[in-house]
Amino acid sequence: MTHLILMRHGQSMWNAAGLFTGWVDVPLSPTGIDEAREGGRAIADLAIDEVHVSTLIRAQMTAMIALSEHRGGLTPVFQYPTEVEAGMSENETRMREWAQIRGEAGKEGILPVHVAWQLNERMYGDLQGLNKQATREQYGDEQVHVWRRSYDVPPPNGESLELTAQRTIPYLEHTLLPSLHDGNSVFVAAHGNSLRSIIMHLDGLSREEVLALEVPTGVPIVYDLVDGALVRSSTTDV
């Protein structure tokens, strides 16, 4: 059975502190580390052929901790393109050139890990780093609720869920789905809103229905590829 496994990162340090995070690169809290490990145990026996993570450390930590519980026996290795692009810095060029596996023995037993900014959390704009409760007190519960939960209204200088979907869905359609249809089981570690937009697309949710969708931290959501279509596994629920 080919699977698509989606997992929201475990609790971050700013989640615990009640701060808006967005694209601020904050690591997991001790609770988040435990959540990632528990989520990893839940998928320890599912096939995983490749991994996709956002650029943010909390998603990458979640993936690596979860995979430490996996029984597949493969070594996660972050993948870097081999080609050098115009305008790249010397360090970026060196990373692409020097991070490649040379020995044939090292190419065996590899679990490729791909980093994609398209999977990043919704960018919260001017709210990033603000205390959530203090923001409610300043702007009112209703306004903050609109910024956080509406489909097409972004926070000041930030992204709405609709705008987030404009980068996550093409990544799903052009990168993840082709790999799944090639027979590869895929593990994605990302964020609440980037995953909400993907689940909205996969489950055919309306703009109104997605507003009530909550993606819990550290809990894997599994889809099975059945007759060419992704179907939510009966063993998982949101």
Give 161's DSSP letter. Answer: H
Q: Which residues are catalytic?
A: 9, 121
Burial 10-42 (b: 16+ CB within 10 A, else e): bbbbbbeeebbbbbbebbbbebbbebbbbbbeb
Write out the two tokens for 6. Answer: 């989606």
Note whether 155 and 124 are within 8 A (CB).
Answer: yes
Give 175's DSSP letter. Answer: I
Burial 151-162 (b: 16+ CB within 10 A, else e): eeebbeebbbbe
Note whether 2 and 185 are within 8 A (CB).
Answer: yes
Q: Which residue is it, tokens 């489950």?
A: 203
DSSP-based three-state secondary structure for 224: strand
Q: Which residues contact 10 (CB under 8 A, 6 or more apart)?
A: 28, 29, 31, 32, 33, 34, 35, 36, 39, 58, 61, 62, 65, 217, 218
Write out the two tokens for 86. Answer: 């115009």
